[in-house]
């Protein structure tokens, strides 16, 4: 069994590694200090199980788990934290392992025996319990995970089963729906068309095209997403309030 230990505190990582060292079934133990490092290590090390802290700088464990669970071959995840405020409501299903620090050997052994990969639905429940918005979208192509800062995204365009995130000088395919994103970021992204969301803070103006329809101009990109007649009045109200 290959494991990845993720914690921003070196002493906490060392303790878990000592507990794992006495087991006979841990063939390799890698480590990472935050969520972004965990995603990279997961891609290169391909662990069977990740022992993941929740509160970490840069990217917390819940957001990191959501990105890794969206990959084609997700690991099993056991959360390890000094705070029990997420436990009762978020982990009631017991499908996600959860250990309080300091981690005890008996409880670690039991969690490893029962570890199963988390579902997206369960991770969404974790995110809601944490009340912390994620800061990155993830794109999974060619077996690799690419992180796109939410703050960099200007437009989200739906096309069949994929959504394209458009940023200044770049774009990426996301494996989630516009509706999911709209519900998660109601203040950050504005619906302007049934196939488009735009970053509200990046709107620079509204233009009328020769054919009579309207479109938005956005900071940092040339693309001007069309505004449907259904959403035109709401978009104008938002622009007036900026």
Question: Which class does domain 152-241 fall in?
Answer: mainly beta
- What is the model's pLDDT at position 129? 66
- What is the model's pLDDT at position 93? 32
* Three-class DSSP category at 206: strand
Q: Which CATH number fits domain 2-130: 3.40.50.720, 3.40.640.10, 3.40.50.2300, 3.20.20.70?
A: 3.40.50.2300
- What is the model's pLDDT at position 90? 41
- Sorted by where each begins, the domain ranges of the chain are 2-130, 152-241
- What is the model's pLDDT at position 211? 86
Which residue has 């480590």 as its token pair?
A: 31
For every residue of 3-61, DSSP letters joined together read EEEE-S-HHHHHHHHHHHHTSSS--EEEEESSHHHHHHHHHHH--SEEEEESS-SSS-H
First to last CA, the chain: 53
- Average pLDDT per 10 consecutive residues for the chain, totaling 242 residues: 95 95 88 96 91 91 86 84 62 58 91 69 66 85 87 94 94 92 94 97 94 94 96 93 84
pTM (predicted TM-score): 0.70
């Amino acid at each position: 069994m290959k494991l990845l230990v993720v914690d921003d505190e070196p002493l906490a990582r060392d303790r878990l590694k000592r507990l794992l060292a006495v087991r006979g079934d841990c063939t390799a133990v890698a480590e990472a200090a935050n969520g972004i490092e965990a995603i990279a290590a997961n891609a290169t090390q391909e662990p069977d199980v990740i022992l993941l802290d929740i509160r970490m700088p840069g990217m917390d464990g819940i957001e990191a788990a959501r990105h890794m669970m969206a990959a084609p071959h997700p690991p099993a995840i056991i959360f390890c934290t000094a705070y029990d405020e997420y436990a009762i409501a978020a982990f009631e299903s017991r499908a996600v392992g959860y250990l309080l620090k300091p981690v005890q050997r008996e409880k670690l052994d039991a969690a490893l025996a029962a570890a199963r990969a988390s579902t997206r639905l369960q991770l969404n429940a974790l995110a809601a319990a944490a009340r912390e918005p994620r800061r990155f979208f993830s794109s999974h192509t060619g077996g690799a995970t690419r992180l796109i800062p939410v703050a960099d995204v200007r437009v989200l365009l739906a096309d069949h089963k994929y959504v394209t995130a458009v940023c200044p000088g770049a774009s990426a395919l996301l494996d989630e729906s516009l509706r999911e994103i709209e519900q998660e970021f109601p203040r950050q992204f504005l619906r302007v068309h049934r196939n488009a969301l735009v970053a509200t803070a990046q709107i620079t103006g509204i233009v009328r095209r020769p054919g009579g329809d309207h479109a938005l101009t956005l900071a940092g990109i040339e693309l001007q997403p069309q505004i449907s007649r259904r959403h035109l009045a709401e978009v104008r109200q938002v622009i007036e309030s900026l």
